[in-house]
Amino acid sequence: MKIVMLGAPGAGKGTQAKMIADQYSIPHISTGDIFRANIKEGTELGKEAKSYMDKGQLVPDELTVKILLDRVAKEDCKNGYVLDGFPRTIPQAEVLEDALTKLNDKIDYAINVEVPDENIVRRMSGRRACLSCGATYHIVHIPPKAEGVCDRCGKDLVLRDDDKEETVQKRLNVYHEQTQPLIDFYEKKGVLKEVDGTVDMKDVFAAITRILG
């Protein structure tokens, strides 16, 4: 069971990917994690990726797919995997599809966690973080006992730049421009499944498990 997770930043697809991985005993593969692992281990692919990252450049799609294929060739992926954060664009999806086709393989499900932009802006701009101990809160869903103060260490909570409304909106604009076309791409392949991401996290997961069986 090979799964691609789709959804806007803040839609909760990473959380769902981890839950799928645990439920079905398949690895949760995030491109960020495998880049870091290859760089840390000093692999040839890692060194190549690092040379781009050190210059502040994006790692080319072909190299990203090579690193990804290297990861999915490992023994723990024999029953499948969940891809989180890749592909992000149509060219990446095409490179991945070509590479998998050569291996007589394919993506079985592309699961889109659907959340309207206004919900995401509300969700992310309500986050608060403690820079001292790393605890995170939400002013509506997980509020601290005292407003603006960390329950754990008593330090001030902050709204991170990443979670500010204007930053979230910029990220959503990039998503709609680059990543949303993937929904059409996987729909044409007949593997797209959509779930309502506005409901409780457990209900989102229940909907996903009904799809995966």
Structure pTM? 0.84
Average pLDDT value for residue range 94-103: 92
Give the start-to-end residue ranges of the domains of the chain: 2-212
Mean pLDDT computed over 141-145: 93
The tens digit of pLDDT for each residue in 147-191 reads 999 999 999 999 999 899 999 999 899 889 988 999 999 999 999
Of 21-30, 161-170, 200-209, least confident by mean pLDDT is 161-170
**What was the pLDDT predicted at 13?**
92
How many angstroms separate the Cα of 42 from the Cα of each of 24, 55, 66, 108? Answer: 31, 18, 15, 32
Q: What is the mean pLDDT of residues 120-143?
A: 92
Per-residue pLDDT, 162: 86
Tens of pLDDT, residue by residue over 57-88, are 888 988 999 999 999 989 999 999 999 989 98
Q: What is the pLDDT of residue 150?
A: 97
Q: What is the pLDDT of residue 31?
A: 85
- For the chain, what is the radius of gyration of the CA atoms? 18
% of the chain residues with pLDDT over 70: 100
Percent above pLDDT 90 for the chain:
76
User: Catalytic positions, please?
Assistant: 13, 88, 127, 160, 171
* Domain 2-212 falls under CATH 3.40.50.300: yes
Q: Please provide the average confidence, as pLDDT, over all residues in the chain.
A: 93
